[in-house]
């Protein structure tokens, strides 16, 4: 899920304060438990509190519990309203739960705060594609690749290959074949250029 990739990096100061804490780790189940414990810590600064809510929301999203994730993102954003990662990830949770238009305002705010985020461009591309805006979606997927580099390009190469639209290598380089595949994908509202969960994980890590 490109919309969620990079969410493990929350607010920099909070991450520095809790460096090594399992709330910021890679293990999803441990992160869920550790973030819950951190949220319940008395006297936690608003930034750290918000970050812990956002990280727990990430864990819920990765488990497909989008409504629960959205509630945690709501809590994170009440504490720190200008939190671009939480805004984008709440938009992605709305998209994945079948309510893409509810995330439109969030992703626009996220991009206003962080106009170089490949994940926010990917989220907005998905919303635009779903709403029948192929040219806008294509432009945002291209921005996602431009800012996301080889890793984002590989994700799209793998996803479009899984969709039967791309036959080239997953090498992290843009090409005519990749653009043509993406152009085909955005013409429909159900084609997803992202690979299925865990697909191509090794090649993009």
- Residue-wise pLDDT for 140-188, tens only, equals 999 999 999 999 999 999 999 999 999 999 999 999 999 999 999 999 9
Give which of 133, 120, 122 is closest to 155, Cα–Cα: 122
Segment 186-193 shows an average pLDDT of 96
Q: Whose structure tokens read 């812990």?
A: 52
Question: In the numeric block, which tokens belong to residue 10?
Answer: 């929350």
pLDDT on residue 163: 95
Model pTM score: 0.89
- Are 166 and 157 a contacting pair, CB within 8 Å? yes
pLDDT on residue 205: 43
18 compared with 154, residue with greater pLDDT: 154
CA–CA distances in Å: residue 39 to residues 33, 48, 69, 114, 141: 10, 9, 14, 26, 35
The mean predicted confidence, pLDDT, of the chain is 89
Question: In the numeric block, which tokens belong to residue 77?
Answer: 């954003």
45 compared with 14, residue with greater pLDDT: 45
pLDDT on residue 21: 83
Residue 64 dihedral angles phi and psi, to the nearest 5°:
85, 10
- Gap between the terminal Cα atoms of the chain: 13
Task: Select the highest-mean-pLDDT range: 8-12, 18-22, 42-46, 195-199.
Answer: 42-46
Give 128's contacts (C-beta < 8 A, 6+ positions apart): 136, 137, 140
pLDDT on residue 63: 93
pLDDT on residue 196: 82
Segment 107-128 shows an average pLDDT of 97
């Amino acid at each position: 899920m490109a919309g969620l990739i990079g969410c493990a990096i929350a607010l920099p100061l909070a991450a520095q304060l809790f460096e090594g804490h399992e709330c910021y780790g890679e293990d999803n189940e441990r992160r869920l438990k550790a973030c819950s414990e951190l949220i319940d810590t008395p006297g936690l600064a608003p930034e750290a509190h918000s970050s812990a809510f956002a990280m727990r929301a990430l864990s819920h999203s990765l488990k497909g519990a989008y409504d629960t994730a959205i509630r945690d993102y709501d809590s994170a954003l009440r504490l720190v309203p200008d939190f671009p990662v939480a805004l984008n990830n709440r938009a992605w949770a709305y998209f994945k739960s079948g309510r893409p238009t509810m995330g439109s305002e969030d992703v626009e705010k996220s991009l206003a705060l962080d106009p170089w985020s490949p994940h926010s461009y990917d989220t907005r591309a998905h919303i635009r594609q779903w709403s029948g805006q192929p040219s806008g979606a294509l432009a945002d997927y291209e921005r996602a690749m431009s800012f996301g580099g080889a890793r984002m390009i590989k994700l799209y190469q793998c996803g479009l290959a899984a969709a039967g639209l791309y036959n080239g290598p997953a090498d992290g380089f843009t090409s005519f074949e990749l653009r043509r595949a993406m152009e085909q994908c955005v013409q429909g509202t159900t084609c997803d250029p992202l690979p299925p969960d865990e697909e191509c994980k090794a090649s993009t890590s």
